[in-house]
Structure 1
Amino acid sequence: MTGAPIPTRVGANGPPPAHESITPETARALLTDQFPELSGLKLGTRFDGWDMVTYRLGESLALRIPRVQAAVTSLATEVRWLSELSPGWSFPHPRIEQVGTPGRGYPWPWAVVSYVPGGTADALPLAADAGVDLGLALAQVHSPAPDDAPVNKEQSVRMTERADDVAWALAQLSDARGPAGERVDARAASAIWSAAMAAAEPTQRLWCHADAHGSNILSDGGAFAGIIDWGKMAVGDRAVDLGFLYTAMAPGGAEVALATYRDATRCDDPNLESRARGIALNKCLMWATLDRPANVTMAWRGLNSLAVTS
């Protein structure tokens, strides 16, 4: 993005620093101590997400190591609920293979998971026709959630609770330009937001991935290759996951996924598309203010797909 720096909200520039004990040497030592049968496998390059450090382990596994204490809850969510909910899913997703304990100066639990091949759709967006497979995958995820399902403080919220962020981000982006020199069309964005605010809230309690943006959706040459990083899964509106798809797909792809999803679930909610587009707008506007290239790329991709740029 060009132009003057955009002010950001406190803590919004990127993930917090990782615990200093997380190194390849510590990861290898934890494996040697706790799962010696895996200790001879090659340890891959470190990748830092918002919550987790990930190392590929051999050809078919990966390590998931919480970067900060707040991410320990995410790992616990993934270990419990992914294991419980995923056996019937037909799309590629990680499986929990082992759960490790603190040691060697590292203070929290960690996990060994199955590795799902593919490139992340933040850099390799899915083709529009991949929306068919992605819509079918989300239809499997969105099952009824029990009373003890976790709540995601950012995504298990009503549309009205997003309004301040939308207004703030629109103001910050008034002079910003995207990677192709585009600007946010405030009038078009406001029309989408007004429709979302007018849409009736959902009445069902459903499981959601709750973080199904391009960094957690896998692409194989534009084809859908899986969904990873289930630590934020929570009860919520089905429109949350569907709205995130605007960050991961070529123009028109999210609409293909929505149409396929409706057919697969027989969802008759007349407000689904309005809420999904409103949530997409909320996330993309906020991410466009960040100092984090992957998020900024996804933000402008989504804004362009929503047709709120000029």
Structure 2
Amino acid sequence: MHDDQVHVTTDIVATLIKEQFPRWSGKAVRHLTSTGTVNAVFRIGDDLSARFPLRPTDAAEALAVLEREARASAELARVSRFPVPEPVALGEPGAGYPMPWSVQTWLPGTVALDADPSGSDAFAEDLAAFIAALRGAGTQGRRFSGENRGGVLAHHDDWVAKCFEESEGLLDVPRLRKLWSRFQKLPRTAADVMSHGDLIPGNVLVAGGRLSGVLDTGGFGPADPALDLVGAWHLLESGPRQVLRQALACDDLEWERGRAWAFEQAMGLVWYYAESNPAMSGMGRRTLDRILEPTK
């Protein structure tokens, strides 16, 4: 998916486990096909998963990121009533893999990309309950770090402009430019709350049309209260989307900012993954289609 992507195989993973965590060496190692773009994921036996960063970086920096993600995941697990992966161990470089890696608990369920819950009011209520629990956790004085999404919309102008350039021939760029010109002016009025930060279908587990778990929790941290509302457009059709809005009591400004954050994310998905990850690119298209629906 990336030009500089690190290659990880089941043989490499099995060797790392044998060398670093021999207590698990008898467990089967299976590579998991995923739309994920940050980590290669392997299932270790029935109760563990291992995540290997795909893009090369300094090993010390990578370890600091993994340690921060483990702390964030553990914190989120304490406030969520829905199952989330919990950190188990951190591995070291070896066997031809150049960076640290992480081990988490395994969660059963089907990702929302495959078990589409978009028409379920009950799922929308569950998703709202998850977001509300995170918001209620309190930031303990922390503020948005300034990295990625979750701060000021206008700070993403350069990125969105690049997305428009790359999307010529793929999307109705003139129409999308007009929409962003309005989105990027939406003012920020509310204080940071705790946020998952990436509520996309690949990070949400579904069972029986209900929310059964949430993945990729290492980004849990303070951000714009509207940021987790991206899930309203990534995951829901119009009716359930309104169920989520009512459950969270979103005013017009917060709702539009959530729509704007979903727009910023979706714009990058369509062109960047058009060839390397068609499912992720298609998700971006679907989200943009929902964003462009007439406002009711």
- Whether 1:102 aligns to 2:89 is no
2:82 — aligned with what?
Answer: 91
Find the residue that maps to 1:238 and give its secondary structure. coil
Identity of aligned residues (%): 24
Give the C-alpha shift of residue 140 in structure 1: 1.3
The runs of 5 or more residues in structure 1 that have no matched partner are: 1-13, 178-183
Matches within 5 A, 1:8-47: 14-20=1-7, 22-47=8-33
Residues in 1 aligned to 2:242 and 2:214: alpha-carbon distance in whole angstroms = 19
Aligned alpha-carbon RMSD (Å)? 2.9
Matches within 5 A, 1:183-262: 184=172, 186-187=174-175, 189=176, 192-193=179-180, 195-220=182-207, 222-262=209-249
Residues in 2 aligned to 1:131 and 1:306: alpha-carbon distance in whole angstroms = 17
Give the C-alpha shift of residue 281 in structure 1: 1.9
CA contact (8 A) 1:43 1:57 kept: yes
- Whether 1:300 aligns to 2:289 is no
CA contact (8 A) 2:143 2:192 kept: no
Give the C-alpha shift of residue 136 in structure 1: 0.6
Give the C-alpha shift of residue 226 in structure 1: 1.6
What is the TM-score when the length of structure 1 is the normalising length?
0.79
Q: Greater relative contact order (Cα 8 A, min sep 6): structure 1 or 2?
A: 1
**Which amino acid in structure 2 is aligned with residue 240 of structure 1?**
L
CA contact (8 A) 1:125 1:250 kept: no
CA contact (8 A) 2:164 2:177 kept: no
Distance 1:74 1:248, change over 3 A: farther
**Which amino acid in structure 1 is aligned with residue 13 of structure 2?**
A
CA contact (8 A) 1:252 1:305 kept: no
Q: Deviations over 1:54-96 (max 9, x none)?
A: 1011222111222234455542222112113322310121111
Q: Deviations over 1:181-209 (max 9, x none)?
A: xxx4855x567545534432043122222
2:130 — aligned with what?
Answer: 137
Residues in 1 aligned to 2:185 and 2:87: alpha-carbon distance in whole angstroms = 41
Q: Deviations over 1:247-299 (max 9, x none)?
A: 2233433332222223xxxx6x5511010111122222332223231222111
Give the C-alpha shift of residue 154 in structure 1: 1.9
CA contact (8 A) 1:284 1:299 kept: yes
* Greater helix share, structure number: 2
CA contact (8 A) 1:127 1:223 kept: no
CA contact (8 A) 2:180 2:260 kept: yes
2:72 — aligned with what?
Answer: 81
Find the residue that maps to 1:56 and give its secondary structure. strand
The runs of 5 or more residues in structure 2 that have no matched partner are: none
Residues in 2 aligned to 1:103 and 1:171: alpha-carbon distance in whole angstroms = 40
- Whether 1:279 aligns to 2:261 is yes
**When the two structures are aligned, how many residues end up with a matched partner?**
283
Residues in 2 aligned to 1:149 and 1:31: alpha-carbon distance in whole angstroms = 37
1:156 — aligned with what?
Answer: 150
Distance 1:235 1:296, change over 3 A: same
CA contact (8 A) 2:76 2:217 kept: no
CA contact (8 A) 1:101 1:108 kept: yes
